[in-house]
Structure 1
């Protein structure tokens, strides 16, 4: 499979690996949202849809609908930590929609769930940045060689995005340096 200039070749298996990575990141913080909103299954449903795709399901309406529902759940959350956890779930379902465009903004599809999960963990710990750093370290360990290789096809994460943007850039740099060291 060849790509036009500005396009990146992504197989369905590449997308499944990225979705599994994102689902694992989001799953780690579902409890934060559920402690805030115990009767709202929308973020868990989004993570479940991401896992279903990662395990061979189709990329379609269920992923889009559950991502949208997780976004709505984030808006209904009472705490910033719960919102971040719901955004991690939304990002997990959205990871399957990584576009084959050589744009730095696409890195958010790969790393957004991990960055939102780290931010949720920080906030639960009273905005403790060391907790976020530990969460990112765990996220690096979740990344498979395929996820790292897919990430390396894209430009480095862009500037901006507040604290979550900072976490994305740190995770991006950590994963790219890991790939160099191997």
Structure 2
């Protein structure tokens, strides 16, 4: 990393500043927290997803990218595996993705888009499942996520290749969110 906080390297790398990463983490945390109650209704005594979202917000607001983010992301993933419903599992995965968003790698690979959009897609899937697998609810959550994205989030996303195929319904939601954000102009 250069003195100015910009990641530098080979041509296959994408420049990312710490502020870019903070914006991505804030976007991911905002997306994940809208379905946190889905997990907490399923597992009321389990604070791991809430802790992961809190760690993402702490980083977004100026904290360091370190052990707390990694640990809370892993803990939220474990919480997802202990959830009793698929919706609660997806809500916990959204929280895990929020804490993991700070670890967006500066590699020009489509898979990195999941770090940017994973929390929004898992949150949309959780909402779909709560609504009885209703895809229109997922589409509504994708639209809300688009409105949460700052111009910096959109600009960073556009530095990466489009989202990859696969990934089941969450992958579809990532691609929907990716396409919708890429269609925005930076003045919106």
**Structures share a fold, TM > 0.5?**
yes
Q: CA RMSD in A?
A: 1.1
Q: TM-score scaled by structure 2? A: 0.95
Tell me the residue number matched to 1:102: 108
1:145 is aligned, of 151, 162, 166, to 151
| Distance in 2 of aligned mates of 1:116 and 1:171 | 11
Structure 1 unaligned blocks of 5 or more: none
* Count of equivalent residues: 182
CA distance in 2, matches of 1:70, 1:180: 33
Q: TM-score, normalised by structure 1?
A: 0.98
C-alpha separation between the residues in 2 aligned to 1:12 and 1:181? 22
Q: Per-residue displacement from partner, 1:71-95 (whole Å, max 9, x unpaired)? A: 0000000000000000000000000
Consecutive aligned runs of 4 or more in structure 1 exceeding 4 Å deviation: none
Query: How many Å separate the matches in 1 of 2:78 and 2:118?
Result: 17
**Structure with higher helix content:** 1
Name which of 91, 98, 122 aligns with 2:97.
91
Distance 2:16 2:65 in 1: 14
Query: Structure 1 CA distance, aligned partners of 2:71 and 2:186?
Result: 37
The aligned counterpart of 1:111 is: 117
Question: Alignment partner for residue 9 of structure 1, among 7, 12, 15?
Answer: 15
Which among 32, 44, 52 is matched to residue 50 of structure 2? 44
Deviation at residue 178 of structure 1 after TM alignment: 1.2
- Whole-Å separation in 1 of the counterparts to 2:129 and 2:184: 27
